[in-house]
Amino acid sequence: MVRVALVGLVLASGTAAAAAVAQPPPAAVAATVNGERVTLEQVDTFIRARFPGAPLTASQLKALRTEVAQDLVDDLLVRQYLRTNGPKVEPAEVDRQLAAFADSLKAKGQTLAAYARQNGQTEAAFRETWADLVAMQAYVRQHVAPAELQKYFEANREHFDGVEVQAAHVLLRPQGSPVERARCRERLEAIRAEIVAGRLDFAAAARKHSQCPSAARGGDLGPVPRKGGLQDEAFAKAAFALKVGELSPVVETAVGFHLIRVSARTPGTPAAFERCVEDVRDAYADDVRAGLLPRLRREGQITVTVP
Protein backbone atom coordinates (compact mmCIF):
# COMPACT_ATOMS: atom_id res chain seq x y z
CA MET A 1 0.00 0.00 0.00
CA VAL A 2 1.08 3.61 -0.40
CA ARG A 3 2.44 4.45 3.02
CA VAL A 4 1.07 7.42 4.93
CA ALA A 5 4.66 8.26 5.82
CA LEU A 6 5.16 9.39 2.27
CA VAL A 7 3.28 12.57 3.10
CA GLY A 8 5.96 13.45 5.63
CA LEU A 9 8.76 12.63 3.23
CA VAL A 10 7.36 14.84 0.50
CA LEU A 11 6.61 17.74 2.82
CA ALA A 12 10.03 17.47 4.39
CA SER A 13 11.61 17.81 0.97
CA GLY A 14 10.45 21.41 0.93
CA THR A 15 7.57 20.90 -1.53
CA ALA A 16 4.76 22.73 0.17
CA ALA A 17 1.93 21.87 -2.23
CA ALA A 18 1.33 20.04 -5.45
CA ALA A 19 -0.34 21.05 -8.66
CA ALA A 20 -3.41 19.84 -10.40
CA VAL A 21 -1.38 17.56 -12.64
CA ALA A 22 -2.27 17.23 -16.30
CA GLN A 23 -3.75 13.82 -17.09
CA PRO A 24 -1.00 11.63 -18.62
CA PRO A 25 -1.63 9.14 -21.41
CA PRO A 26 -2.99 5.92 -19.83
CA ALA A 27 -0.10 3.89 -21.26
CA ALA A 28 2.65 6.17 -19.89
CA VAL A 29 4.95 4.16 -17.61
CA ALA A 30 6.49 5.59 -14.43
CA ALA A 31 8.31 2.40 -13.38
CA THR A 32 8.71 -1.26 -14.23
CA VAL A 33 9.11 -3.87 -11.49
CA ASN A 34 10.10 -7.37 -12.58
CA GLY A 35 8.17 -6.87 -15.79
CA GLU A 36 5.07 -5.28 -14.21
CA ARG A 37 4.28 -1.63 -14.79
CA VAL A 38 3.52 1.27 -12.51
CA THR A 39 1.73 3.81 -14.69
CA LEU A 40 2.18 7.56 -14.59
CA GLU A 41 -1.59 7.79 -14.26
CA GLN A 42 -1.38 5.90 -10.93
CA VAL A 43 1.33 8.27 -9.73
CA ASP A 44 -0.51 11.43 -10.74
CA THR A 45 -3.85 10.22 -9.36
CA PHE A 46 -2.18 9.91 -5.97
CA ILE A 47 -0.58 13.35 -6.27
CA ARG A 48 -3.83 15.07 -7.27
CA ALA A 49 -5.72 13.49 -4.37
CA ARG A 50 -3.18 13.94 -1.59
CA PHE A 51 -1.42 17.18 -2.52
CA PRO A 52 -3.89 19.63 -4.05
CA GLY A 53 -2.67 23.20 -4.30
CA ALA A 54 -0.64 25.68 -6.27
CA PRO A 55 1.15 24.66 -9.51
CA LEU A 56 4.62 23.18 -9.22
CA THR A 57 7.67 23.91 -11.28
CA ALA A 58 8.75 21.16 -13.65
CA SER A 59 11.59 20.12 -11.33
CA GLN A 60 9.29 20.02 -8.28
CA LEU A 61 6.74 17.92 -10.15
CA LYS A 62 9.39 15.45 -11.26
CA ALA A 63 10.73 15.15 -7.71
CA LEU A 64 7.25 14.52 -6.31
CA ARG A 65 6.43 12.00 -9.05
CA THR A 66 9.67 10.18 -8.29
CA GLU A 67 8.88 10.01 -4.56
CA VAL A 68 5.42 8.56 -5.25
CA ALA A 69 6.66 6.18 -7.95
CA GLN A 70 9.29 4.75 -5.60
CA ASP A 71 6.62 4.11 -2.97
CA LEU A 72 4.43 2.35 -5.54
CA VAL A 73 7.46 0.28 -6.57
CA ASP A 74 7.77 -0.88 -2.95
CA ASP A 75 4.09 -1.81 -2.88
CA LEU A 76 4.44 -3.87 -6.05
CA LEU A 77 7.60 -5.61 -4.84
CA VAL A 78 5.84 -6.76 -1.68
CA ARG A 79 2.74 -7.81 -3.66
CA GLN A 80 4.90 -9.92 -5.95
CA TYR A 81 6.69 -11.51 -2.99
CA LEU A 82 3.44 -12.45 -1.28
CA ARG A 83 2.05 -14.00 -4.46
CA THR A 84 4.94 -16.47 -4.41
CA ASN A 85 5.64 -16.87 -0.69
CA GLY A 86 2.43 -15.99 1.12
CA PRO A 87 -0.59 -18.16 1.84
CA LYS A 88 -3.52 -18.03 -0.57
CA VAL A 89 -5.99 -15.34 0.39
CA GLU A 90 -9.58 -16.03 -0.58
CA PRO A 91 -11.45 -13.15 -2.27
CA ALA A 92 -14.29 -13.75 0.20
CA GLU A 93 -12.01 -12.80 3.10
CA VAL A 94 -11.00 -9.58 1.34
CA ASP A 95 -14.71 -8.87 0.72
CA ARG A 96 -15.53 -9.51 4.38
CA GLN A 97 -12.86 -7.16 5.71
CA LEU A 98 -13.63 -4.47 3.14
CA ALA A 99 -17.33 -4.62 4.00
CA ALA A 100 -16.52 -4.18 7.69
CA PHE A 101 -14.29 -1.21 6.87
CA ALA A 102 -16.99 0.29 4.64
CA ASP A 103 -19.48 -0.03 7.51
CA SER A 104 -17.09 1.81 9.83
CA LEU A 105 -16.80 4.60 7.25
CA LYS A 106 -20.57 4.74 6.80
CA ALA A 107 -20.95 5.32 10.54
CA LYS A 108 -18.82 8.43 10.05
CA GLY A 109 -20.85 9.60 7.05
CA GLN A 110 -18.25 8.59 4.48
CA THR A 111 -18.23 6.13 1.59
CA LEU A 112 -15.53 3.69 0.55
CA ALA A 113 -15.32 5.31 -2.88
CA ALA A 114 -14.75 8.74 -1.34
CA TYR A 115 -12.13 7.35 1.03
CA ALA A 116 -10.30 5.72 -1.87
CA ARG A 117 -10.33 8.98 -3.86
CA GLN A 118 -8.92 10.89 -0.88
CA ASN A 119 -6.04 8.41 -0.80
CA GLY A 120 -5.29 8.78 -4.51
CA GLN A 121 -6.80 5.49 -5.67
CA THR A 122 -9.76 4.19 -7.59
CA GLU A 123 -12.07 1.87 -5.70
CA ALA A 124 -10.59 -1.08 -7.64
CA ALA A 125 -7.03 -0.04 -6.76
CA PHE A 126 -8.01 0.38 -3.12
CA ARG A 127 -9.39 -3.16 -3.12
CA GLU A 128 -6.02 -4.37 -4.42
CA THR A 129 -4.29 -2.44 -1.64
CA TRP A 130 -6.61 -4.02 0.91
CA ALA A 131 -5.90 -7.46 -0.52
CA ASP A 132 -2.19 -6.76 0.05
CA LEU A 133 -2.92 -5.96 3.69
CA VAL A 134 -4.90 -9.17 4.15
CA ALA A 135 -2.12 -11.18 2.47
CA MET A 136 0.53 -9.70 4.75
CA GLN A 137 -1.60 -10.39 7.82
CA ALA A 138 -1.96 -14.01 6.68
CA TYR A 139 1.79 -14.25 6.06
CA VAL A 140 2.51 -13.08 9.62
CA ARG A 141 -0.03 -15.50 11.09
CA GLN A 142 1.65 -18.33 9.19
CA HIS A 143 5.22 -17.44 10.15
CA VAL A 144 5.06 -15.77 13.58
CA ALA A 145 4.24 -17.66 16.77
CA PRO A 146 2.12 -15.99 19.48
CA ALA A 147 5.15 -15.98 21.79
CA GLU A 148 7.07 -13.91 19.23
CA LEU A 149 4.20 -11.43 19.02
CA GLN A 150 4.20 -11.15 22.81
CA LYS A 151 7.93 -10.46 22.76
CA TYR A 152 7.40 -7.80 20.08
CA PHE A 153 4.66 -6.21 22.17
CA GLU A 154 6.95 -5.95 25.20
CA ALA A 155 9.76 -4.46 23.10
CA ASN A 156 7.44 -1.79 21.65
CA ARG A 157 5.32 -0.87 24.63
CA GLU A 158 5.69 2.87 24.00
CA HIS A 159 3.89 2.43 20.69
CA PHE A 160 1.06 0.25 22.01
CA ASP A 161 0.62 2.40 25.12
CA GLY A 162 0.25 5.45 22.86
CA VAL A 163 3.24 7.42 24.17
CA GLU A 164 4.07 10.53 22.11
CA VAL A 165 6.86 13.08 22.12
CA GLN A 166 6.64 16.71 21.08
CA ALA A 167 9.47 16.98 18.59
CA ALA A 168 11.11 19.67 16.49
CA HIS A 169 13.87 19.31 13.92
CA VAL A 170 16.29 21.04 11.63
CA LEU A 171 16.39 19.25 8.29
CA LEU A 172 19.00 19.50 5.57
CA ARG A 173 18.20 17.57 2.42
CA PRO A 174 21.17 16.64 0.16
CA GLN A 175 20.79 16.35 -3.60
CA GLY A 176 22.04 12.77 -3.71
CA SER A 177 25.74 12.57 -4.54
CA PRO A 178 28.07 11.14 -1.83
CA VAL A 179 30.04 14.39 -1.81
CA GLU A 180 26.90 16.44 -1.32
CA ARG A 181 25.70 14.14 1.45
CA ALA A 182 29.02 14.51 3.27
CA ARG A 183 28.88 18.29 2.95
CA CYS A 184 25.30 18.32 4.20
CA ARG A 185 26.21 16.30 7.28
CA GLU A 186 29.21 18.54 8.01
CA ARG A 187 27.06 21.64 7.72
CA LEU A 188 24.52 20.23 10.17
CA GLU A 189 27.31 19.23 12.58
CA ALA A 190 28.47 22.86 12.50
CA ILE A 191 24.93 24.09 13.21
CA ARG A 192 24.69 21.65 16.10
CA ALA A 193 27.95 22.94 17.56
CA GLU A 194 26.57 26.51 17.45
CA ILE A 195 23.41 25.40 19.29
CA VAL A 196 25.34 23.45 21.94
CA ALA A 197 27.67 26.41 22.50
CA GLY A 198 24.67 28.66 23.11
CA ARG A 199 25.44 30.90 20.15
CA LEU A 200 22.32 29.84 18.25
CA ASP A 201 18.81 29.07 19.48
CA PHE A 202 17.33 25.82 18.16
CA ALA A 203 14.13 27.42 16.85
CA ALA A 204 16.16 30.20 15.20
CA ALA A 205 18.40 27.56 13.60
CA ALA A 206 15.34 25.80 12.20
CA ARG A 207 13.86 29.01 10.84
CA LYS A 208 17.16 29.95 9.20
CA HIS A 209 18.46 26.62 7.92
CA SER A 210 15.80 23.89 7.87
CA GLN A 211 14.56 22.66 4.49
CA CYS A 212 11.15 21.65 5.82
CA PRO A 213 7.88 23.60 5.97
CA SER A 214 8.11 23.25 9.77
CA ALA A 215 10.96 25.80 9.64
CA ALA A 216 8.34 28.57 9.87
CA ARG A 217 7.30 27.10 13.25
CA GLY A 218 10.85 26.85 14.54
CA GLY A 219 11.02 23.23 13.38
CA ASP A 220 8.01 22.12 15.44
CA LEU A 221 6.48 18.86 14.15
CA GLY A 222 3.86 18.45 16.83
CA PRO A 223 3.25 15.13 18.62
CA VAL A 224 5.22 12.21 17.15
CA PRO A 225 4.15 8.60 17.90
CA ARG A 226 6.69 5.81 18.23
CA LYS A 227 5.41 4.04 15.13
CA GLY A 228 2.93 4.75 12.36
CA GLY A 229 3.31 8.52 12.13
CA LEU A 230 4.65 10.69 9.34
CA GLN A 231 8.27 10.19 10.38
CA ASP A 232 10.23 7.09 9.48
CA GLU A 233 11.67 4.59 11.94
CA ALA A 234 15.14 6.13 12.18
CA PHE A 235 13.64 9.52 13.11
CA ALA A 236 11.13 8.13 15.62
CA LYS A 237 13.73 5.89 17.26
CA ALA A 238 16.12 8.81 17.72
CA ALA A 239 13.39 11.12 19.03
CA PHE A 240 12.18 8.62 21.62
CA ALA A 241 15.73 8.03 22.84
CA LEU A 242 16.03 11.71 23.85
CA LYS A 243 15.29 13.20 27.23
CA VAL A 244 13.08 16.27 27.27
CA GLY A 245 15.16 19.28 26.22
CA GLU A 246 18.01 17.14 24.87
CA LEU A 247 19.50 17.71 21.40
CA SER A 248 20.17 14.70 19.21
CA PRO A 249 23.32 14.00 17.24
CA VAL A 250 22.91 14.25 13.47
CA VAL A 251 20.32 11.65 12.43
CA GLU A 252 20.19 10.31 8.87
CA THR A 253 16.88 9.21 7.33
CA ALA A 254 15.59 8.59 3.81
CA VAL A 255 14.74 12.31 3.66
CA GLY A 256 18.09 13.73 4.67
CA PHE A 257 19.89 14.77 7.87
CA HIS A 258 18.17 15.98 11.03
CA LEU A 259 18.86 17.58 14.37
CA ILE A 260 16.01 16.66 16.71
CA ARG A 261 14.91 18.16 19.99
CA VAL A 262 12.09 16.87 22.20
CA SER A 263 10.25 19.43 24.30
CA ALA A 264 7.70 17.16 25.99
CA ARG A 265 6.72 13.52 26.42
CA THR A 266 3.08 12.49 26.81
CA PRO A 267 2.52 9.18 28.62
CA GLY A 268 -0.05 6.89 27.09
CA THR A 269 -2.33 4.34 28.69
CA PRO A 270 -0.84 0.94 29.55
CA ALA A 271 -2.07 -1.63 27.04
CA ALA A 272 -2.76 -5.33 27.58
CA PHE A 273 -1.45 -7.70 24.95
CA GLU A 274 -4.65 -9.77 24.90
CA ARG A 275 -6.71 -6.68 24.05
CA CYS A 276 -4.54 -5.39 21.23
CA VAL A 277 -3.15 -8.53 19.63
CA GLU A 278 -4.48 -7.56 16.17
CA ASP A 279 -2.77 -4.16 16.45
CA VAL A 280 0.42 -5.96 17.47
CA ARG A 281 0.16 -8.24 14.45
CA ASP A 282 -0.42 -5.26 12.12
CA ALA A 283 2.60 -3.40 13.51
CA TYR A 284 4.70 -6.56 13.24
CA ALA A 285 3.56 -6.92 9.62
CA ASP A 286 4.69 -3.35 8.88
CA ASP A 287 8.13 -4.20 10.27
CA VAL A 288 8.27 -7.41 8.23
CA ARG A 289 7.47 -5.40 5.12
CA ALA A 290 10.17 -2.84 5.90
CA GLY A 291 12.66 -5.65 6.49
CA LEU A 292 11.83 -7.36 3.20
CA LEU A 293 12.14 -4.32 0.97
CA PRO A 294 15.95 -3.86 0.92
CA ARG A 295 16.41 -7.46 -0.28
CA LEU A 296 13.54 -7.27 -2.76
CA ARG A 297 15.02 -4.08 -4.22
CA ARG A 298 18.50 -5.63 -4.50
CA GLU A 299 17.18 -8.74 -6.21
CA GLY A 300 14.49 -7.10 -8.35
CA GLN A 301 14.68 -5.71 -11.85
CA ILE A 302 13.48 -2.14 -11.31
CA THR A 303 13.44 0.73 -13.77
CA VAL A 304 12.02 4.15 -12.86
CA THR A 305 11.19 6.28 -15.91
CA VAL A 306 9.37 9.26 -14.43
CA PRO A 307 9.30 12.12 -16.98
Q: What is the percentage of the chain residues whose pLDDT exceeds 70?
A: 90
pLDDT of residue 121: 83
Same domain, 204 and 256: yes
- pLDDT tens readout for residues 24-64: 555 699 999 999 999 999 998 888 887 776 567 888 788 88
Same domain, 174 and 256: yes
pLDDT of residue 119: 81
Instruction: Return d(Cα 287, Cα 273) in angstroms, integer.
Output: 18
Total number of domains constituting the chain: 2
Q: Which of 34-38, 59-63, 143-147, 249-253 comes out lowest in average pLDDT?
A: 59-63
Query: Closest Cα to residue 9, out of 217, 255, 176?
Result: 255
Same domain, 211 and 286: no
Instruction: Return d(Cα 128, Cα 98) in angstroms, integer.
Output: 11
Q: Which of 78-87, 123-132, 191-200, 259-268 comes out lowest in average pLDDT?
A: 123-132
Q: Per the domain annotation, does 247 fall within a domain?
A: yes
5 vs 240, residue with greater confidence: 240
Cβ proximity of 256 and 184 under 8 Å: yes
For residue 206, count other CB atoms closer than 10 A to its CB.
Answer: 24
Q: pLDDT class for 5, splitting at 50, 70, 90?
A: very low
Average pLDDT over residues 202-209: 96
Q: pLDDT class for 136, splitting at 50, 70, 90?
A: very high
- pLDDT tens readout for residues 157-191: 999 999 999 999 999 988 778 898 999 999 999 99
Same domain, 10 and 106: yes
pLDDT of residue 8: 37
**CATH number of the domain encompassing residue 182:** 3.10.50.40
Reported pTM: 0.73
Task: Flag whether pLDDT at 242 surpasses 90.
Answer: yes
Across all residues in the chain, what is the average pLDDT?
Answer: 87
Q: Per the domain annotation, does 262 fall within a domain?
A: yes
pLDDT of residue 3: 43
Task: Flag whether pLDDT at 9 surpasses 80.
Answer: no
Q: Per the domain annotation, does 76 fall within a domain?
A: yes
Same domain, 75 and 142: yes
pLDDT of residue 233: 85
Task: Flag whether pLDDT at 203 surpasses 80.
Answer: yes
Q: Per the domain annotation, does 70 fall within a domain?
A: yes
Q: What is the percentage of the chain residues whose pLDDT exceeds 90?
A: 64
Q: pLDDT class for 11, splitting at 50, 70, 90?
A: very low
Task: Flag whether pLDDT at 67 surpasses 70.
Answer: yes
pLDDT of residue 292: 94
Q: What is the CA radius of gyration of the chain?
A: 21
**CATH number of the domain encompassing residue 19:** 1.10.4030
Range of the domain at 128: 5-146+278-304
pLDDT of residue 175: 77
Same domain, 136 and 55: yes
